[in-house]
Chain A
Amino acid sequence: MRTLVATCRLAVAGLRHRGTRSVVVAVLALLATASAVLGPAYARAAEQSTLLDHLRAAPTWLTGFSVTSTGTAGDDSTIGSGVHGAPSYDALARIPVGYLTRNAGRTMLAARYYDAPVGGVQTSLALPSLDGDVTTGRLVYREGYCARLHPVEGRCPVRTGEVLASTRSPYRVGTTIAVTAGSQIDPQVGDPGHTTVTVVGRYVAPHETGGYWFNHGYFDAAVFMKQAAEYRRIDSFFGSERTVHALGVAEYTSMADFPLRVESVRLDDVATLRADLSAGRRQIEAAGLSAATPLTGVLSDVDGERDQVSVAALLVAVQLVLLCWFVLFGVVRGATDERGPELGLAKLRGLPGRRVAAFGLAEIGLLVLVATPLGVALGLAGTELVARFGLASGVHAELRLPVLAAAVAAFAGALVAAALAVRRSVASPVVELLRRVPARAHRLRAGIAEGVLAAVALAACYELLTGAGGRLGLLAGGLVAVVAGLTAGRLLPLALRRGVRTAGRRGRVPALLAAARLSRRGQVPRTVALVTVAVALLCYGVVTWDVAGRNEQARAGAALGAATVYSVETDTAAALRAAVRRADPSGHEAMAVARGLYGSGEATTEVLAVDSDRFATVGYWQSAFAVDDPATLAGRLRPAASAPVAVAAGPLPVTVDVASASKGMALVALLSDARRQQRVVRLGELTRGRHTLTGTSDCTDCRLVGFDLYRGPDTPAAIRGAFTLVSLRQGGHDLAGFGAHWRAVDTTLGQPVSAVTPGSAGTAVRFDSPGGEDLRILYADAPYPLPAVTTGRRGTFRGPGLYGLDQAYREVATARTVPGITSGVLVDLTYADRVAGFGESLDTPLRYQVWAAPGAPASLRQKLTAAGLTVTGVDSVAARRARLSRQGPALALRLYLIAAVAALLLAAGTVLVTAYLTSRPTLYEVAALRAAGVPARLVRRAGWREYGLLLGAALVAGVLAGGVGAALAVPRLPQLATSGGPPPTWWPGAWWPGGAVLGSAVLLAAVTVAVVGALGRRGTPSRLRGGQ
C-alpha cells in the first residue's frame, strides 16, 4: 500500500512537473475518448430522433391502436360457431363503450404508453332519398364528440333520439328523420332496425380528421356513381350511445381508440411496444374482437432508417475508435518513451521489473484514467449539442453500454499502448534507456501489421466493388485511408534519404537538416500516417456530405418545383396566371402553376401546368433533369396559336351556309365564362341555304370555345349533314375568321363523326353520327394535341388534362424529372386551360400554386394577396431539405462529417504533442546548430521545410486517399431514406471539398508555425549548458 501511495505521489509530482505536456496529453486523450464515444452516442441520439420524427409526423391513428367490436344486434349466433365460450354477434354489437375501453386498455397494456382511450360506437344508415339520390350516412356516438364539434347552430344532443347534423347536409335544426339500418342484415336475424332522430344542432365538419377523430371517416360526404345510380353520402349524425343503439337490429361497430403518448416513447420502448401490441392483439382476437395496430408499420419504417444510421454509426465508430487508438498509442508511447531516462534511473537503482513498470505506467495511467470519464462527458456533451441544434426536440445524449464500451476500448487501447511502451523500457538495458539517441523501431513487426491492414483493405474494396455481402465493404474508405497513410509514412523517409545526400553535396543546410530529420526519426511514419488518415477521413466525410447535400437539394427542389411554393386558392388557372402577373410584372420572381393528380395505381398521371414564359426563370432546375435547358422546353410548350376570341354580352350573329342537315338540328355557340362555367348561346336551326343565325350572349367576359349541334325533339337518332361557317361577328366586327383555327372534337371509338375543313369560303363541317356523339366544332386558340414535356410517354397520347378531362397530348420533349411532380406531364398553363374548355371532372381537385424564384422577396406573399389570391400554405426547398436532413441517411452522413472534423483536430493535436514529446533531442540539436554558428534563419527554414514536407505529404496523400475512398463508397452509401426523385449525382461541388482541403492546410500550417516557432524560441545555445 505504501508502495502504491509512493508511486502515485511520484506520478502526481511528475505530472505537475511536466504540466504542459500532461495537460496536452490529457486533452488529447480526452478528445480521443470523446471521439470514440461520439459514434455510438450520436447514433443513439440520431436513432431516437428518427423515431420521434416518424412518430410525430404520423397521424394519431397511425401511431395509436384501435380495438373494435363488430356485430349485429339480434344475431345470437356465435363467432367461430361451436367454439365454447365464444361471444355471440349480438353481444359484440351491444358491448358498452365504457366496458370496451376499460378492458381493451387492460388487455393491450395501454396504460404505459398510451393516453386515455376514446370510445365510440357507430352504425350505418339508410336515409330518405335526397333529390332522387340514394342517400346514406352514419349514426355515431363518440366520447366527448360535442365538445369537439362545437355546434354552430342548435345545441348538443341530450336525450335519446337527438342528433347533430353536418352543415353540409340539408337537414335543419328541428328536422325529424326516419332512419333505417344501412348494413346488410341476414333475414333470419330480422328486419333492419329503424328509428327516428331529431336534429337538435348542426356542426361544421372539421378539416382535421386525424387526432381525436382517429380517421374513422365520419366526415366523408360525397356524391358518387355506383352501379349506374347516383349516391349521396352525408356526414355522420352524432348522438348518444343510446341513440345509436336505438336503431335496433343493425350492425354496430364499437371501438376504443388509444392515442400513443409519442413524447414518452424512447428507443428502449420499441421492443416492449411491439411485444405488448402483438400479445394484446392475440388476446383481443381470441375474444372475437379485432385490433388495428398500424404502429408496427410505422416502427418498421423507423427500423429501416435506424438501420441506415446504425450501420453508418458502426462504420464511423470503428474508424474513430481505431483512429483514437492510433492517436493514443502514439501519444502514450511518446509520453512513455520520453520518460525513458527516468525508467533507466529506476533500473539503475535496482528497482524490480514490476516496480519499474508501475513507475512507468503510473503517470500515463493517471492521465488516461482522468481523461476517460471527462472524454465520455465531452463526447456526450458534443452529442447533446448536436442533438439540440440538429435533431428532433426531446432527443438527448444518453450514457449507454455502447458508449461505455467505446470509452473502455479507448482507455484499454491507451493502457495497452503504455504497457507495450513500458514493457519495452523494462526489457531494455539501462544504458539504452539513458542514452540520448532513441532506439530503432521494430520494423519487422510493424511491417507485418501493415501488411495485414493492406490485405483487409483490399478485401473491403473487393467486397464493396463486387457487392458481396457483409459490412467490411463499408470500411473500405477508412481502410484505404489507413493504407495510404502507412504507405506515405514509409515512402517519405525513404525518398528523403536521397535528399540528404543531395542537399549535403550542394551545401543546402535547411534542406539537409529537414531531410535528415525526416529520414531518420522514428515518429515520422506514424505522424504522416495519422495526418493522412485524418485528412482522408475529412475529405471522405466532406465529399459524402456534399454529395448527399446536393442530392437532398435536388430531391427537395425536384419535389417542390421552386425555391418557395405558395399554395393558393383561386377560381381558375387563367385567374391565377393573371393575378401572379399583376403581383410580379417583372416575370423574374413568381410563376403561376396548376397541378392535378389523376387516376390511381400505375395509371396515375400528374399534370403540371406552368406559366411557361417564366418557367426557366422561376422553376427549380438541374441539368440532370433533361437534355434540353428549361428555356428550350418552355419554348416548345408554347408554340404560336390564335388568340382567344372574347365574346361580350349582346347579339352574336353567325353566318352559315347549310348544304344539308337532319331535321331539327340547331347550332349553338359554346362560351366559357370567367369561372370556366359553360355558357350556351342558341343561334338557330340549321336549314338549307345561307343564313345568319343570331343569338344573344349574356356573358360579359366570355371566351368562345366553339359551336355545337343540338338535337331537336324531331331529330332522328342518326344525324348527318354538311354546312359551312362563314362568319361570326359582334358589334360590327368579325370575332373570328373561319379560314383556319378550327377543329372537330376527337374521334369516338376511332370513327370520325364530324369533319372540319377550313377553306376560303369558311370552315366546312360535315357530320354523320349514328348516335349521341359529340358534334362540337372547337376554336383552336391553343395547339392541339397539347404540347407536353413528358417523363415517359412518347409521340401523341391521350390522358387527363388540366381539369381531369380527357384530351390528347403531343410529346415535344422528354425529361428525366419534371420539377414539382417528378414524373408526369408538363404543359403550358394558358394552353392547357384553353384546351380544357370548361367544366372539370368530379374527382379532380386541382391544386393552384405560385412558385417563387430563389431571389423573390418576402413581400411576395403580400403582393399575391393584394392581387386577389388567398395563400393557404407555404413550403420551401430549405424547409424540405431540413426535413430530409433529419432522415436516417442524412443523420448518418452528418456523423461522418463530425467524425472527420474530430479526426483532423486529433491529428493536429497529435502532431503538436509528438513534436513536444520528441522535442528534447531536437531542441538540443537546434541549440547545437546555433552554437556552431548556423544562423537562426536557416534553422527556422529547416523547420519550415521539415514540417512542410511532413504535413504536406500527408495532406496530399490524405486528399488522394479521401478522394479514392469517396469514389468507392459514395455511390453505395444510402443518401436519402426513400427512393424516387431525380437521378442522384455522385459528384461533389467544388466548394466543400476545396474548403476541406484548404481548412486542413490552414490547420496544419498553424501547427507548423507553432512547432517551428517553439523550436526557434527554445532551441537556444544556453540549453547546451544544462546537458539536455
Chain B
Amino acid sequence: MTATETRAGVGIGVSCRGLVYIYRLEGYDVVALSGVDLDIEPGESVALLGPSGSGKSTLLSLLAGLLRPAAGRLHVGEHDVARASPAELSAMRSTDVGVMLQGAMRNLLPYVSATENIRFAQSGVPAARRAELSTPDELLDLVGLAGQGGVRPPDLAPGERQRLAVACAVANGAGLLLADEPTSQLDTHARDAVLDVLAEVRDTGRTVVVVTHDPDVGLRMGRTVTIRDGRVGAEGRRGEEYSVVGRDGAVHLPPDVLAEVAPGTLLRVELTDEGAVRLVPTDDPAKEER
C-alpha cells in the first residue's frame, strides 16, 4: 500500500466566495449555507467539521456539483460550478472530482466484485483518458484491498467496504476527493485504516476534503474547517484553532468564549495598539450613561 504504486494525481483547488444554498421545502425555506468563504489549495487535506445540520454535507454536495448554489461563486479547479451546465458538472465528476457518499454501500454496486465496481466508477471517463487511469488492482492496492478484487461488497468488512468506496471515488483519476463521513459507523481500527487510506490518497497529490463530525478525524486531516450555522466559523491549523472573520465582518466565537459570554451580550470590540482585537463585555449602554 504505497503511493508510488498508484499513478500520481494532480491536486485540484477549491475556491468558495459568499456561497449560499437554500433548501426549498413545502411551505418554508431553510438556509443551509449563508455565505461560505473557503479556499482549499491543491493537494491540501481538509476536514469539514460541524454539528448535524450545520451545512457541511451541503457544502460537500455543492463542491461535487450535485447541488447548485443559490448565490456566491464556486470554483473547483477550473470549473465554475455555479455556472456550469448539468453536462459540464457530470463531466467534472467523471474526471476531476471523486465523490464518496455517506454510507459505503451507497457508493458501490452490491452485486458485482470490487474490481467491477472500480471499472464501473471509471466508465464515465472519456475513452481517450482511460489509459491514464490506475488499474483496479493498483487502486485496490492503494486502499489495502490487494487480492480482494473478486470479492463483492457485501462480503467485505465494513471498513473494507469504506476503503473500496474510496478506491471507487478516486478511480476516475480525480484531483479532488470529496468524502462524506467516511469513518462513520466504523470501529477505531477500521476508522484508522480509512484515515490511512485517505492519507495515501492525499500523498498521491490529490486534494482531499472530508466531512466529519469527529474532531479526531479532523486532527488527522491537517486542516479543519468548522461549519456553524451555514458559515465557516473556525479553522484549525497545525494544532491551533482560529476563528474566521466573515466577509461581513462576522466572527464565530469559540465555544469556551461563548460559555462566558452569553448570546445577547453586548461586546465592545477594541483594536489594541499591538494590533490585537479585544472583546469587552459591556452592560446596557443606557445604564452606563446614567
Residues in chain A within 8 A of chain B (CB atoms): 3, 6, 9-10, 13-14, 16-18, 341-342, 345-353, 355, 429-431, 434, 1026-1027
Q: How far is the CA of A431 from the CA of B68 in the complex (A)?
A: 11
How long is the Cα–Cα vector from A353 to B168 in the complex, in angstroms? 20
Known contacts A13-B112, A431-B61, A434-B101; A348/B93 CB under 8 A: yes
Q: Mark B108-132, 1 if CB is under 8 A from A, else 0.
A: 1111100010011101110000000
**B172 proximity list for chain A (CB < 8 A):** 349-350
6 pairs from A and B in contact (CB 8 Å cutoff): A348-B107, A349-B94, A350-B125, A351-B124, A431-B67, A1027-B103
Contact of A6 among B95, B108, B110, B119 (CB under 8 A): B119
Known A3-B123, A355-B123, A1027-B103; judge A10-B66 contact (CB<8 A): no
**Minimum C-beta distance from A897 to chain B (A):** 42
Which residues of chain A have C-beta atoms less than 8 A from B64's C-beta? 348
Give the interface centre of A14, A349, A431 by most chain B CB atoms within 10 Å: A349
A17 near B111 (CB under 8 angstroms)? yes
CA distance A341 to B109 in the complex (A): 10
- Are A430 and B112 in contact (CB-based, < 8 A)? no
| Residues of chain B within 8 A of A342, CB atoms compared | 109
Q: Are B111 and A16 in contact (CB under 8 A)?
A: yes
Q: List B contacts of A6 (CB < 8 A).
A: 119, 123
Q: How far is the CA of A1026 from the CA of B125 in the complex (A)?
A: 31
Residues of B within 8 A of A13 (CB): 109, 111-112, 116
Q: How far is the CA of A1026 from the CA of B153 in the complex (A)?
A: 13
Structural contact, A350 and B93, CB atoms closer than 8 A: yes
Assess the A345–B106 pair: CB atoms within 8 A. yes
Residues of B within 8 A of A1026 (CB): 105
A349-B123 contact, Cβ under 8 Å, with A13-B111, A16-B111, A342-B109:
yes
Partner of B66, one of A14, A349, A431: A431
Majority DSSP secondary structure for residues of A touching B = helix
Q: Tell me if B110 and A17 are in contact (CB < 8 A).
A: yes
Q: Give Cα A348 to B86, complex, Å.
A: 11
A1027 neighbours in B (Cβ, 8 Å): 103, 105-106
Contact of A349 among B103, B110, B121 (CB under 8 A): B121
Task: Give the shortest distance, in Å, between B150 (CB) and chain A (any CB).
Answer: 13
Q: A10-B112, A350-B91, A355-B124 are in contact. Are A345 and B107 (CB under 8 A)?
A: yes
CB distance from A19 to the nearest CB of B (A): 10
Measured in the bound complex, the distance between the Cα atoms of B99 and A456 in whole Å is 51
Nearest CB of B to A659, in Å = 119
Contacts of A352 in B (CB 8 A): 87, 90, 124
B67–A349 CB distance below 8 A: no
Choose from B92, B106, B110 the contact partner of A434 (Cβ within 8 Å): B106
Question: Do B124 and A350 touch (CB < 8 A)?
Answer: yes
| Residue pair B120, A349 in contact (C-beta under 8 Å) | yes
Take A349-B93, A350-B94 as given contacts and tell me if A10 and B109 are in contact as well, using a CB distance cutoff of 8 Å: yes
Return A889 CB to nearest CB of chain B, in Å. Answer: 52
Question: By the criterion CB–CB under 8 Å, are B90 and A347 in contact?
Answer: yes
Chain B residues within an 8 Å CB radius of A351: 90, 94, 123-124
A9 to B112, CA, bound (A): 9
Q: Count B-side interface residues using an 8 Å CB cutoff.
A: 31
Determine how close the nearest CB of chain A comes to the CB of B174; give it in whole angstroms. Answer: 10
Contacts of A348 in B (CB 8 A): 64, 66, 93, 99, 101, 107
Give the distance in Å from the alpha carbon of A275 to the alpha carbon of B265 in the complex.
106
The residues of A that contact B107 with a CB separation of less than 8 Å are 345, 348
Identify which of B91, B94, B95 gathers the most chain A CB atoms within 10 Å of its CB.
Answer: B94
Q: Give A429 to B106 CA distance when docked, in angstroms.
A: 16
Q: Once bound together, how far apart are the Cα atoms of A9 and B119, in whole Å?
A: 12
Per-position contact with A for B65-100: 1 when CB-CB < 8 Å, else 0? 011000000000000000000010011111100010
Closest 5 interchain pairs by CB? Answer: A350-B94, A17-B111, A350-B124, A350-B93, A351-B124
Interfacial chain A residues near B61, Cβ < 8 Å: 431
A350 / chain B contacts, CB cutoff of 8 Å: 90-95, 124-125, 172
Q: Which residues of B contact A349 (CB under 8 A)?
A: 93-94, 120-121, 123-124, 168, 172
B-chain residues with CB within 8 Å of residue A345 when the two chains form the complex: 106-109
Give Cα A346–Cα B107 distance, bound, in whole angstroms.
Answer: 9
Complex: A430 Cα to B94 Cα, angstroms: 14
Question: In the bound complex, what is the Cα–Cα distance between A293 and B280 (angstroms)?
Answer: 120
Q: Is the CB of A430 within 8 A of B123?
A: no
- List of A residues within 8 angstroms of B123 by Cβ: 3, 6, 349, 351, 355
Q: Which residues of B contact A10 (CB under 8 A)?
A: 109, 112, 116, 120
* Complexed CA–CA distance, A434 and B119 (Å): 21
Give Cα distance in the complex from A1027 to B185, angstroms. Answer: 10
Please measure, in the bound complex, the distance between the C-alpha atom of A9 and the C-alpha atom of B168, giving whole angstroms: 19
Closest residue of A by beta carbon distance from B174: A350
Contacts of B116 in A (CB 8 A): 9-10, 13
* Distance in angstroms between the alpha carbons of A1027 and B107 in the assembled complex: 13
Minimum CB–CB distance for B178 against chain A, Å: 11
The CA of A341 and the CA of B64, in the complex, are separated in Å by: 17
**Nearest chain-B residue to A7 (Cβ)?**
B123
**Cβ–Cβ < 8 Å partners of A355 in chain B:** 123-124
Which B12-66 residues sit within 8 Å CB-CB of chain A? Answer: 61, 64, 66
CA distance A10 to B115 in the complex (A): 12
Please name all residues of chain B whose beta carbon is closer than 8 Å to the beta carbon of A431 when the two chains form the complex: 61, 66-67
A565 → B minimal CB distance (Å): 69
Residue of B nearest to A431 (CB): B66
**Chain B residue with Cβ nearest A1025:** B185
Cα(A434)–Cα(B61), bound, Å: 12
The answer to whether A430 and B111 have CB atoms under 8 Å apart is no
CA of A611 to CA of B87 in the docked complex: distance in angstroms? 93
* Distance (whole angstroms) from the CB of A362 to the closest CB of chain B: 13
The reply to whether B111 and A14 contact each other, CB–CB distance below 8 Å, is yes
Q: Which residues of B contact A17 (CB under 8 A)?
A: 110-111
Taken together as a complex, chains A and B put the C-alpha atoms of A350 and B172 apart, in Å, by 9
A16 contacts which chain B residues (CB < 8 A)?
111
**In the complex, how many angstroms separate the beta carbon of A816 from the nearest chain B beta carbon?**
67
Chain A residues closer than 8 Å to B95, beta-carbon distance = 350
A351 to B94, CA, bound (A): 7
Interface residues in B161-190 (C-beta closer than 8 Å to A): 168, 172
B106, A341: Cβ atoms closer than 8 Å: yes
Residues of A within 8 A of B91 (CB): 350
Chain A residues with Cβ below 8 Å from B125 are: 350
Between B101, B112, B123, B125, the greatest number of chain A beta carbons within 10 A of the residue's beta carbon is seen for B123
> In the complex, what residue of chain A is closest to B121 when comparing beta carbons?
A349
In the assembled complex, the CB of A360 is this many whole angstroms from the nearest CB of chain B, namely: 13
- Report chain A residues within 8 Å CB of B121: 349
A352 to B120, CA, bound (A): 13
Residue of B nearest to A19 (CB): B111
C-alpha gap A10/B120 in the complex (Å): 9
Say whether, besides A349-B94, A349-B121, A430 and B109 are in contact (CB < 8 Å).
Answer: no
Q: How far is the CA of A711 from the CA of B87 in the complex (A)?
A: 124
Chain A hits for B120, CB < 8 A = 10, 346, 349
Q: Which residue of A lies closest to B64 (CB)?
A: A348
How far is A18 from B106 in the complex, measured between Cα atoms in Å? 16
Return the chain B residue nearest A432 by Cβ: B66
Question: Of the candidates B66, B108, B124, which one forms a contact with A430 in the assembled complex, judged by CB atoms under 8 Å apart?
Answer: B66
How many Å from the CB of A1028 to the closest CB on chain B?
A: 9
Q: Within the assembled complex, what's the spacing in Å between the Cα atoms of A355 and B91?
A: 13
Residues on A with beta carbons closer than 8 Å to the beta carbon of B93: 348-350
A430 to B97: give the CA distance in the assembly, Å.
Answer: 15
Chain A residues whose C-beta falls within 8 Å of the C-beta of B168 in the assembled complex: 349
- Other than A350-B94, A350-B124, A430-B66, give 15 A-B pairs with Cβ distance below 8 A: A10-B112, A13-B111, A13-B112, A18-B111, A342-B109, A345-B106, A346-B124, A349-B93, A349-B121, A349-B124, A350-B92, A350-B172, A429-B66, A434-B101, A1026-B105
User: In the complex, what residue of chain A is closest to B102 when comparing beta carbons?
Assistant: A1027
The minimal Cβ–Cβ distance linking A832 to chain B, given in whole angstroms, is: 86
Shortest CB-to-CB span from A907 to chain B, Å, is 30
Chain A residue with the shortest CB-CB distance to B61: A431
User: Within the complex, what minimum Cβ distance (angstroms) separates B124 from chain A?
Assistant: 4
Compute how far the CA of A18 lies from the CA of B107 in the bound complex, rounded to whole angstroms: 18
